[in-house]
């Protein structure tokens, strides 16, 4: 009788968690489709891989529901999907301006941001960039760009919507910018494609990757945070990062 009661309580708790996070019966997730730190979309098959795919699949397994993952065209697309209830969860880096629109889980992953410079540049470290006459290009709205817009004292920030590594390479070659700022994974991939560029060895900012929910439901957020803590403690998130072969990415430390 006691065992039966325990099983019944466990089943009830599972149903409650599923109702919280997947009210339609399917866990629907949205992420930044152009951010390799989160995940990748196969251009031929549409298959999604990376930490976002593994985490969503595991959350759905624990909730005992199917799942669907949709890549978003940018931060606004992910925010709107969650706010419009076309997605139950979204994957985004924390920023105070975004937190005014959605609730953020505890961070599950840290992604370091650094700079790409010309191979013949005299710049050797990130600390050298914030000085008069230096021009830094960054994708407008990216977490690194938001950080630099608030913290640079002397360098000029060129915030360009959708600034890609290819565009940055052209701007660096034409001496229109002195450095390109974004996450280390993107920088590493760009340096591998363009031998005239190199990544600086240090970083200027650690981006906290989190899962977002519609704003104003503390119970739902508590449920999600417990699941994130479980995935962190079990080593699942570390394994997902390793499977993706990411550079400059690590498991976020547990927080209260």
CATH top-level class of 110-205: alpha beta
pLDDT of residue 166: 94
Q: What is the pLDDT, as a whole number, of residue 18?
A: 65
pLDDT for the residue 56: 98
220-246 pLDDT per residue, tens: 999 999 999 999 999 999 999 999 999
pLDDT higher than threshold 50 for residue 78: yes
User: Model-level pTM?
Assistant: 0.85
**Residues 7-59 pLDDT 10s:** 333 334 444 566 789 999 999 999 999 899 999 999 999 999 999 999 999 99
DSSP string covering the chain: -HHHHHHHHHHHHHHHHHHHH-TTSSEEEEEETT-TTT-EE-TTT--EESHHHHHHHHHHHHHT--EEEEEESSHHHHHHHHHTTS-SEEEEE--HHHHTTEEE----EEEEEEEEEETT-S--SGGGSSSTT-EEEEETTSHHHHHHHHH-SSSEEEEETT--HHHHHHHHHTTS-SEEEEEHHHHHHHHHH-TTEEE-SS-SEEEEEEEEEETT-HHHHHHHHHHHHHHHHHTHHHHHHHHHT-SSEEEPPP--
Domain with CATH 3.40.190.10 in the chain: 2-109+209-251, 110-205
Instruction: State whether CATH 3.90.79.10 applies to domain 2-109+209-251.
Output: no
């Amino acid at each position: 009788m006691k065992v039966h009661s325990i099983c019944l309580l466990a089943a009830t708790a599972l149903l409650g968690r599923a109702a919280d996070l997947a009210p339609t019966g399917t866990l629907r997730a949205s992420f930044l489709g152009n951010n390799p730190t989160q995940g990748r979309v196969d251009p031929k098959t549409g298959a999604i891989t990376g930490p976002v795919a593994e985490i969503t699949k595991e959350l759905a397994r624990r909730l005992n529901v199917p799942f669907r993952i949709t890549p978003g065209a940018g931060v606004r697309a992910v925010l709107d999907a969650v706010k419009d209830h076309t997605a139950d969860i979204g994957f985004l880096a924390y920023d105070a301006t975004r937190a005014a629109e959605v609730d953020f889980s505890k961070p599950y992953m840290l992604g370091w941001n650094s700079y790409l410079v010309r191979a013949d540049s005299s710049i050797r470290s990130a600390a050298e960039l914030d000085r008069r006459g230096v021009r830094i290009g960054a994708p407008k709205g990216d977490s690194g760009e938001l950080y630099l817009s608030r913290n640079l004292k002397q360098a000029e920030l060129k915030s360009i919507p959708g600034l890609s590594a290819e565009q940055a390479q052209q701007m660096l070659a034409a001496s229109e910018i002195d450095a390109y700022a974004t996450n280390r994974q993107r920088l590493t991939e760009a340096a591998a494609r363009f031998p005239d560029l190199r990544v600086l060895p240090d970083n200027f900012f650690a981006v906290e990757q989190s899962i977002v929910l519609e704003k104003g439901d503390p119970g739902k957020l508590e449920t999600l945070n417990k699941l994130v803590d479980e995935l962190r403690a079990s080593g699942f998130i570390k394994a997902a990062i390793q499977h993706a072969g990411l550079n400059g990415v690590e498991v976020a430390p547990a927080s209260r």
